[in-house]
Amino acid sequence: MSASHQRLEMLGISKRFGSTQANYLVNLSVSAGEVVGLLGENGAGKSTLMNILYGLHRPDAGAIFLDGVQIDVSSPAAARAFGIGMVHQHFMLVQNHTVAENIALALSEAPAWNPVPYARAKIEEFGGRYGLKIDPGARVSDLSAGEQQRVELLKALMSGAKWLVLDEPTSVLTPREADELFVLLKRMTGEGHGIIFISHKLDEVLAITDRVVVLRHGRPAGECRTKDADQASLARLMIGRQIDKPSISNLTVPGEAVLDVRRLSAAGSRGPLTVNDASFVVRGGEIIGIAGISGNGQRELLETIAGMRPATAGTVSLCGVDITDHDVRTRTAAGLAFVPEDRLHTGTVPSFSLTDNAILRDAHRDLFSRNGFLDTAKARERSERLISEYEVAAPGPDTPLRNLSGGNIQKFLLGRELDASPKLLLAAHPTYGVDIAAAAVIHRVILERKAAGAAILLVSEDLDELLALSDKIGVMFRGELRAMFPREKATRERIGLLMGGAPATPEEVP
Amino acid sequence: MIMWKWRLESVSTPSSVRVGATMVLSILAGLSLGCLLFLVMGVSPLAAMVKMASGSFGSWYGFKETVTKAVPLTLIGAGLAICFRARIWNIGAEGQLLFGAIAATWVGLGLGHHLPGWLGIAAMFAAGALAGGIWAAVPAFMRVRWGVNEAVSSLLLNYVAAEFVQFLIYGPWKGKTQFGFPYSDDLPNALWLPTFYGSRLSWLPLVLAGAVVVLLTVLSAKTRFGYDVRVVGENPEAAAYAGIPFGRTVFAIMVLSGALAGIAGATEIAGVHHHLTYPWSISSGYGFTAILTAFLARLNPAWTWLSAILFGGLLVGGDVIQTSLGLPFATVNIFNGLVLIAILAGEFMIGHRFVRIQHTGDSR
């Protein structure tokens, strides 16, 4: 066991995938009792670096050292043997099993026959030592994201991890759960663990880490002690230049009701109601933000409004016309635009060229086809227009969309949806996993549409984004639209509590 | 110490040279595997290859036989290419072909004496297309309505169709003029497709196959429907998001490919056999070989004719070595299987490449 080791180092790590240099001469070290932040935009090479540390990839050059002795991390099993553990962004838990059963599965030394009592004893022991309270008999599918994350942490600790890599650990947590995680991390460093904390959120990195390593385009962009850094300096290192926050004009006066949702319910993919009796109105020139932890029905709400999911009760009206029973194409033609949550699996066809993607939702309209034949010249024209208007970095309109970075795909997708000047824009997590520069463009575009009189329904997990853009903010919890308030009355703390399930006061109820 | 290692990397946009070269190499690899098979069978691989090549491409007669077989393969393969591109697995072309043959025979025997020849032939082809389409509509409907896996249901319907043909030729349709053989009566002579001298190849199916290749190529590359089909295949969720009607699209392409298989059945009756006969004689596995044809054409209808000629040659060459070298027919099936595996492996290698990487193993 590696309990007495003091320092884990990665030196001169380089890794190339095809034509992409994911890492180039990157150094990263962590000492016992230290939290190191690994900061960078999406696509900066953080995950590649950590996958190398965890034995999922082999570096093209460079090596890993433990107390100055080179180690060969050839597989995740080897990584665990060296005391390196990882908590992935997406949890690797069997949803239908209990906590104890999941832990038993992960413990190689557990007895083959009836391992659950052994796992329970271990959970008690480690839970007590780190203050990780968790019910071993609870089914994982009943746990919140924060609790599932604790199970993952327990798994890593029990398998003897001294060095822990946490990949974007707060992305699924409420602000309160994030605070609890930070307390836990402090406790773990007190026990002598070394922690690598991956994030692209500056405030978190400043709050929890001792030292920050910044990556940009796969290369080391800088390293500093956290106490010598501030948001501005880290942002500059991360993106290489200053980004101006969008200036928000509050001058637009909301106009006519564009979207009117009344007592809307919809079933989820798994059966039970995931949208339950939601009612609200979005007016022209107004942005309504919906906060909530992912999985509380926001996705289904937008899909139901967009026509991809049938409403089980209630009505949806667009500009006074009841569209509850209209199909997707009719709604699109009526001026409904939709930027879905998953841009690669829903919003685009990654293997298609940009031109083919530019007409995904309008291929059937006269605009882009004549007598059943596609008007490829018009499609190309739109594709080229989107590339230039929305600053999409792409070699050309014939490039397969999947070759673009997330931010550029998102700009292209947003541009496509806005190209026909829709009356209503539904946007789910428009800047999720997008680099700061692209996010700034996306925010600017959304605000321009608002100024032009479009109604916008914005779902996001990023409270800063919601607070910066929305006129009103609603909170969804377990399929219910729990609360709705004007931005000036909204605080991070109150929204955070409501996201976690706190009941709304009568004046907050929409 | 320096270690060299090979790793797989993916190639996102393979060049056409890369695609072509890989296809040729993989076909050659498949043929080499076939040589091993001949060695195991105790036959000189060289002799077998030469016999296959000369029998299928080496003479006018052989080449005409090859094209005769390539016609149904093209008709069916082009339709399947569209289906497979949408990731709809129609494995039932064999049954759809047989139903086309049944319907064409029925119309030919029933109406043939009352209609002018060209009209009778047209009616046979129309009936074949309709019957093949209906036979494909069954699994399509079950897929769209109840989510029944179309690969399984269409496959099973092949056996139903084959048994039904046997029922007809041994039972109600057994010909009075066939000296006790389980064949239907012969079609009136006016319905026999004119053939090129000294062969079983007729021009009408050839023209038809060419037209189908052109039409389906345009359909898939230039039309809105073709676009919808590609979206459904590449990303069904994006299709739902775009409002593309999944059920209607799936139904349409299944019926289209079934109709083409049905037309192939009609051509076999009108052009080759002139009566309904054993199911394995009518088709010699075209419905299955066409699956390979579609894949070798990389699911692009434009290239199905070329891959159909190759597989037609393999079938003819197989017949030749079966008779001249005394090999069991199963050998040919195994041989075709080996070629297919090589092609599928080639398909993977088009999208991936081996890269040699260097590991420096020096310690600090």
Q: In this predicted complex, what is the ipTM?
A: 0.81
Which of B87, B224, B231 to probe the A interface (max A CBs under 10 A)?
B224
Specify the 3-state DSSP secondary structure of A69.
strand
Q: How far apart, in whole angstroms, are the C-alpha atoms of residue A368 and residue B257?
A: 27
| Residue B4 confidence (pLDDT) above 70 | no
Q: What is the separation of C-alpha A505 from the centre of its chain, rounded to a whole number of angstroms?
A: 29
Strands ordered across the beta sheet of A257-267: A273-283, A257-267, A311-318, A321-322
Is residue A23 within 8 A of residue A15, CB to CB? The reply is: yes
Q: What is the pLDDT of residue B200?
A: 75
Using an 8 Å Cβ cutoff, are B92 and B158 in contact?
Answer: yes
Residue-level pLDDT at B364: 34
**Averaging pLDDT over each range in A380-394, B166-180, B325-339, B349-363, which range is the top one?**
A380-394
The DSSP H or E segment spanning A266 is: strand A257-267
pLDDT at B361 over 50: no
Q: Is A74 on the interface with B (CB under 8 A)?
A: no
Strands (DSSP E) found in A284-388? 287-291, 311-318, 321-322, 336-339, 369-370, 373-374
- Find the largest Cα–Cα distance for chain A: 75
Please report the pLDDT score of residue B198 as a whole number. 67
pTM above 0.80, yes or no: no
CB B261 within 8 A of CB B309: no
Instruction: Write the residue in B223, B231, B234 that is nearest to A374 by C-beta.
Output: B223
Q: What is the pLDDT of residue A428?
A: 92
pLDDT exceeds cutoff 70 at B5: no
Q: Are the Cβ atoms of A346 and B222 closer than 8 angstroms?
A: no
A102 part of contact set with chain B, CB < 8 Å:
no
- pLDDT confidence of residue A239: 72
Beta-carbon separation of B242 and A328 below 8 A: yes
pLDDT average, residue stretch B159-185: 88
CA–CA distance, A340 with A458 (Å, rounded to integer):
11
Each residue's pLDDT, cut to its tens digit, for chain A (510 residues) gives 445 788 999 999 999 877 678 899 999 999 999 999 998 876 788 888 999 999 988 899 999 999 989 999 988 888 988 999 998 877 888 888 999 999 888 887 888 888 889 889 888 888 888 888 888 888 888 887 788 888 998 888 888 889 999 988 887 777 778 888 899 899 999 989 999 999 877 788 898 999 999 998 888 988 999 999 888 888 788 877 655 555 555 556 778 899 999 999 998 765 566 898 999 999 999 999 999 877 788 989 999 999 999 999 999 999 999 999 999 999 999 999 999 988 888 999 998 999 999 999 987 777 788 888 988 899 999 999 999 999 888 888 998 898 887 888 999 999 999 998 999 999 999 988 777 788 888 999 999 999 999 999 999 888 888 988 999 999 998 889 989 989 888 888 888 888 877 888 887 777
Specify the DSSP class assigned to residue A245: P
Structure tokens that stand for A173 in this block: 């947590």
Interhelix angle A145-158/A99-106, nearest 10 degrees: 30
CB of B352 less than 8 A from some CB of A: no
Contacts of A18 in chain B (CB under 8 A): 9-12
Judged by CB atoms closer than 8 Å, whether chains meet at B227 and A63 is answered as no
Return residues 378-407 of A near B (CB < 8 Å). 400, 402-403
Percent of chain B with pLDDT over 70: 93
* Greater model confidence, A368 or B267: B267
Q: Please check whether residue A374 touches B, CB under 8 A.
A: yes
Contact A7, A175 (CB under 8 A): no
Confidence of residue B41 (pLDDT cuts 50, 70, 90): confident
Which of A276, A277, A286, A280 is CA-nearest to residue A260?
A280
Between A290-294, A323-327, B24-28, B191-195, the lowest mean confidence (pLDDT) is in B191-195
Of B9, B231, B360, the CB nearest to A61: B360
Q: Do B241 and A346 touch (CB under 8 A)?
A: yes
pLDDT in tens, B67-109: 999 999 999 999 999 999 999 999 999 999 999 999 999 999 8
Q: What integer pLDDT is reported at residue A2 of this predicted model? A: 45
Does the beta-carbon distance from B238 to A374 stay under 8 Å?
no
Compute the residue count for chain B. 364
- pLDDT computed for residue B363 by the predictor: 37
- With bands split at pLDDT 50, 70 and 90, how would you rate the model's confidence at B269? very high
In chain A, residues with a C-beta closer than 8 Å to the C-beta of B240 are 308, 328, 346
Dihedral pair phi/psi, residue A333, rounded to 5°? -65, -30
| Whether A363 contacts chain B with CB within 8 A | yes
Chain A residues lying within 8 Å of B360, measured CB to CB: 61, 63
**B350 neighbourhood in chain A, CB within 8 Å:** none
In which residue are the tokens 């509590």 written? A497
Q: Is B230 on the interface with A (CB under 8 A)?
A: yes
Q: Do A363 and B242 touch (CB under 8 A)?
A: yes
Distance CA A112, CA A340 (A): 45
- Does residue B215 sit at the A interface (CB-CB below 8 Å)? no
Kindly compute the dihedral angle of the four CA atoms of residues A123, A124, A126, A132, in this order, to the nearest 10 degrees. Answer: 90
Whether the CB of B353 is below 8 Å from some CB of chain A: the reply is no
Most distant CA atoms of chain B, gap in Å: 95
What confidence score (pLDDT) does residue A16 get?
85
H or E element, residue B357: strand B352-360
Q: Which of A236, A190, A192, A244 is nearest to A212 (CA)?
A: A236
Q: How far apart are CA A54 and CA A39, in angstroms?
A: 18
Whether B242 contacts chain A with CB within 8 A? yes
The span from the CA of A48 to the CA of A23, in Å, is 7
Q: Do A17 and B9 touch (CB under 8 A)?
A: yes
Which pLDDT value is given to residue B362? 40
| Residue B305 in this model has a pLDDT that exceeds 60 | yes
- Contact call for B10 and A18, based on CB within 8 A: yes
What residue in B sits closest to A341 (Cα-Cα)? B241
Asked if the C-beta of B13 comes within 8 angstroms of chain A's C-beta atoms, the answer is yes
Tell if the CB–CB gap between B234 and A351 is shorter than 8 Å: yes
Average pLDDT, chain B: 88
Determine the Cα–Cα distance for residues B237 and B24; give it in Å rounded to an integer: 35
- CA distance linking residue A54 with residue A248, whole number of Å: 43
The tokens for A14 are: 């380089």
pLDDT value of residue A249: 54
